[in-house]
Amino acid sequence: MSSSAASLAQTSVHHTEALLFFTLLQLAVIVIFSRIGNEVASRFAQSRVVGEIIIGILLGPSLFGLLAPDLFNYVFHSSSQEPITMLSQIGLILLMFQIGLEFDFSHLTTSNNRNAVIRIAAAGLIFPFVLGFIFGYYSAPILSPGAAPMATALFTATAFSITALPILGRIMIEFNMTRLPLGVIAISAAAINDVIGWLLLAIVTALAVSNFSMENFFITLVQLVMYIVVSWWVVRPLLRRAIRHSVVTEHRFSANLLGVIIAAIFLSAMMTYKIGIFAIFGGFMMGVLLHDQLEIVKAWRKKVGEFVTVFFLPIFFTYTGLRTNIGGLDSIALWGWCLLLISLATIGKFGGCYWAARWSGMNHAQSKVIGIMMNTRALMELIIINVGYDLGVISQNMFTMLVLMAIVSTVITTPGLRRWLPGAGIPIPARQHLAD
């Protein structure tokens, strides 16, 4: 080997080692501080995810970069951010599979209080969607001047409409509401809300990717329908056959079957990426295909789920935090826009669901409980706005405002429930930590 080739090889190895060093440093910081945020949030009777979201933002330019810019740049900007970006996206795909896997579609078919569920789900979608569309369209020239107003409006409307079903489920477990009529109505309405919300996001993404060309949008839509049909009628039976030929219990998960499932998740994500509606939908779809395989759900939760939650999820929160710069809202006008956004999102979701609950015969306190639970957004909101940011339809300032809205809407849920549940005839259990 010539001296120049040897020197080049040595440089390449050094570069790889340096990249590995800084990636490991970032991961160590993210995992340690996310556990701290997790514990602090639980001590304040908040969802642990709230603590992890806030820690992710504090590790970004909003606090860490502001107080210790040199150290911040050393940790997060000494090397390429591609490894963290890729890990966050892989983690998000696995997390979306997990969300699809945990999705309980039985809530969508409950016969109890069906009219109330339909009214609340409809109001929880229509009211915030309209307000979000109006806000997004008229604020786009000021807050996101480089984006098409229609695209900004549609993404903002979708972000306003979503409910964080997994977080809501955890909060309901803490308050022993999962089997109460009020809890069943709320979780059923949230489930309908989320199904339509994800469909809306897929459609809005397809529209944005096609630059609102109806021809391109139609092609994307046809490909999406074909993907869903093949997934449900071809992939699902094949996966079920593989499951039947494997031994799966809560404590045992065949390595071969796990490998097949992970490969299917990644291939599905690749397909949705090729269609043009982001890889995360592929992960979610694979989870939906297997949601009724209870042994798989239990085995995944026990063998893989905790690692996804402890390792990958904080990476996604920190990745979002690195994009969030609260200091960028550096004027009274921008903070005014932010306050208006949070207010409209809350009025649309809380107010719409409150009105629908009252229409369905619930009293004042019960209706407020429904409204505050449906207003919970958390992780689902962050996923949507990251998609919008990646597509360039919302600016960094709009991104930051929507992140703050996600935090506020989630933080106020637990205190609101503690205040209003007694009036709804539901006793408050002894304060306890939220389950992971």
What mean pLDDT is predicted for residues 41-52? 81
- Structure confidence at residue 1 (pLDDT): 53
Confirm if 146 and 125 have CB atoms less than 8 A apart. Answer: no
Label residues 330-344 b or e (16+ Cβ within 10 Å = b). Answer: eeeebeebbeebbeb
Among residues 83, 52, 35, which one has the least CA distance to residue 320? 52
- Structure confidence at residue 371 (pLDDT): 95
**253, β-bridge pairs:** 248
Tokens of 42: 């639980």
The sign one gets for the Cα dihedral 208, 91, 308, 52 is negative
Residue of higher predicted confidence among 430 and 435: 430
Question: Cα–Cα distances in Å, from 184 out to 76, 230, 237, 401?
Answer: 44, 33, 31, 31
Residue of higher predicted confidence among 250 and 321: 321
Q: What one-character-per-residue DSSP string does 234-284 give?
A: IIHHHHHHHHHTS-EETTEE-HHHHHHHHHHHHHHHHHHHHHTS-THHHHH
Look up the pTM and report it. Answer: 0.82
Q: How confident is the model at residue 215 (pLDDT cuts 50, 70, 90)?
A: confident
| Start-end of H helices in 245-395 | 255-275, 280-289, 294-300, 306-307, 313-323, 332-346, 352-359, 364-374, 378-391
Q: Distance from CA of residue 367 to its chain's centroid?
A: 26
Which of the 8 DSSP states describes residue 326?
G
Q: How confident is the model at residue 435 (pLDDT cuts 50, 70, 90)?
A: very low
- Structure confidence at residue 165 (pLDDT): 75
User: Hey, which of 101-110, 341-350, 416-425 has the most confident mean pLDDT?
Assistant: 341-350
Among residues 335, 347, 254, 340, which one has the least CA distance to residue 299? 254
Q: d(Cα 15, Cα 273) in Å, to the nearest integer?
A: 30
Count of other CB atoms within 10 angstroms of residue 236: 18
Q: d(Cα 76, Cα 361) in Å, to the nearest integer?
A: 53
Q: d(Cα 254, Cα 356) in Å, to the nearest integer?
A: 47
Query: pLDDT per residue over 392-410, tens digit each?
Result: 999 999 999 999 999 999 8
- Phi-psi label, residue 246: left if phi above 0, alpha if psi -120 to 50, beta otherwise: beta
Number of H helices, E strands in the chain: 22, 2
- Structure confidence at residue 174 (pLDDT): 76
Q: d(Cα 4, Cα 389) in Å, to the nearest integer?
A: 43
Residue of higher predicted confidence among 335 and 174: 335
Confirm if 397 and 140 have CB atoms less than 8 A apart. Answer: no
Tokens of 396: 């960094």
Q: d(Cα 95, Cα 316) in Å, to the nearest integer?
A: 10
Q: d(Cα 120, Cα 193) in Å, to the nearest integer?
A: 9
pLDDT over threshold 80, residue 245: yes
Tokens of 92: 């998000």
pLDDT over threshold 50, residue 434: no
Which of the 8 DSSP states describes residue 427?
P
β-pairing, 252-253 vs 248-249, is antiparallel
- Phi-psi label, residue 426: left if phi above 0, alpha if psi -120 to 50, beta otherwise: beta
Q: How confident is the model at residue 112 (pLDDT cuts 50, 70, 90)?
A: low
Among residues 336, 339, 362, 285, which one has the least CA distance to residue 123? 362
Query: pLDDT per residue over 85-110, tens digit each?
Result: 899 889 889 988 887 887 666 655 65
All domains of the chain in start order, with CATH: 12-77 (no CATH), 87-424 (1.20.1530.20)
Residue of higher predicted confidence among 106 and 284: 284
Question: Cα–Cα distances in Å, from 393 out to 214, 341, 360?
Answer: 18, 16, 37
**248, β-bridge pairs:** 253
Residue of higher predicted confidence among 401 and 193: 401
Q: What one-character-per-residue DSSP string does 25-82 give?
A: HHHHHHHHHHHHHHHHHHHTT--HHHHHHHHHHHTTTTTHHHH-HHHHHHHHHSS-SH
Q: How confident is the model at residue 47 (pLDDT cuts 50, 70, 90)?
A: confident
What mean pLDDT is predicted for residues 149-154? 93
